[in-house]
Amino acid sequence: AKGNGKGGWQRYQNDLHTAMMQRLEMRTALHEAIEEEQFVLQFQPIVELVDQKISGVEALVRWQHPAKGLLGPYHFVEAAEESGAIVGIGTWVLREALRQFSQWKNENPDTTLRYVSVNVSARQFRTADFADRVREALAETGARPEWLLLEITESLVLKDADKVIADLKALRALGVRVAIDDFGTGYSSLSYLRQMPVDVLKLDKSFIDDILHSRQQHALVDAIVTLSHNLDLAVVAEGIEEAGQRAALDAMGCQYGQGYHFARPLWPGDIPGLAAEYQEHP
């Protein structure tokens, strides 16, 4: 921050310079990472709460950094969003998730696994040719549209709603489904969601955390689940860490869940119930 006197000003200039250099370096590094294919995917199971059978997986990106090792999204997704690199990364994630998923479906015809969920950043969603990218990725990988669930955030839906609704309709016309991610962290309401052409609501972990200890929180989640079902939305509860939470959500009629209680994000060869002829991962 700006200090007093000359020394403070100089320090401020130096800090600004350093911050700018770091941003530039990050930008360059992210673009190199795309070209050199340094990104990898883990997959976290999404299960049926009643019997814990796997119904889907969420693709979660990691950066295999040549010097720093394996980096989670918190280290780079925000910077990638700011620099625009997230568009290239997102395109890669989409194609790789569908490629891997098609392989699983082909090798495991009897699996209960029905879909792969892919995170789409606001910036990526707003590119003019996003629906074309989705169509291409499906065609290139031979994946069926119903295998794909696109996760978009609540905040995206709130800005420029008419445009977003039109884009969502075009995507769903391809046969893919759409989820609202992190529901409850923004400001949207269920009555607002009613106008949104979406299929799935992912209830944020912060909503689930207290359901066993707060009667109010339990009541709130119960009401959201009931209302969602009345709006024909499927509900996925995120961040389930305890058996008690699974039981409570199941009793509310919530059908799906995701969280460390069932499984952490896994390497492709470690998904339970799938043939595991994959290369070793770092």
Q: Which residues contribute to the site for ligand C2E (CB under 6 A)?
A: 44, 60-61, 72-74, 77, 86, 90, 93, 119, 121, 181-182, 239-241, 258-260, 265
The contact mask relative to Ca ion for 198-227 (x = CB under 5 A, - = no) is ------------------------------
The contact mask relative to Ca ion for 145-184 (x = CB under 5 A, - = no) is ------x-----------------------------xx--
Question: Which of ligand C2E, Ca ion, none does 187 bind, CB closer than 5 to 8 A by kind?
Answer: none
Q: Which is nearer to ligand C2E, 78 or 107 (CB)?
A: 78
Amino acid code (one letter) for 163: K
Residue 104 · residue 59 · CB < 8 Å = no
Question: Which of ligand C2E, Ca ion, none does 61 bind, CB closer than 5 to 8 A by kind?
Answer: ligand C2E
β-strand partners of 35:
none
Rounded-to-integer distance, Cα 21 and Cα 31, Å: 15
Rounded-to-integer distance, Cα 135 and Cα 258, Å: 27
Whose CA is closest to 270, among 116, 66, 43, 30? Answer: 43
From the CB of 41, what's the least distance to Ca ion, in Å?
Answer: 13
Chain centroid to CA 120: how far?
7
The pairing of beta strand 115-119 with beta strand 200-203? unpaired
Query: Binding residue for Ca ion (CB under 5 A) from 42, 119, 228, 258?
Result: 119
Read off φ and ψ for residue 272, nearest 5 degrees: -60, 140
From the CB of 223, what's the least distance to Ca ion, in Å?
Answer: 20
The DSSP result for 27-58, as a single string, is: HHHHHHHHHTT-EEEEEEEEEETTT--EEEEE
From the CB of 77, what's the least distance to Ca ion, in Å?
Answer: 11
Q: Which is nearer to ligand C2E, 6 or 154 (CB)?
A: 154
Question: Which of ligand C2E, Ca ion, none does 73 bind, CB closer than 5 to 8 A by kind?
Answer: ligand C2E
β-strand partners of 177:
149
Interaction site with Ca ion (CB under 5 A): 119, 151, 181-182
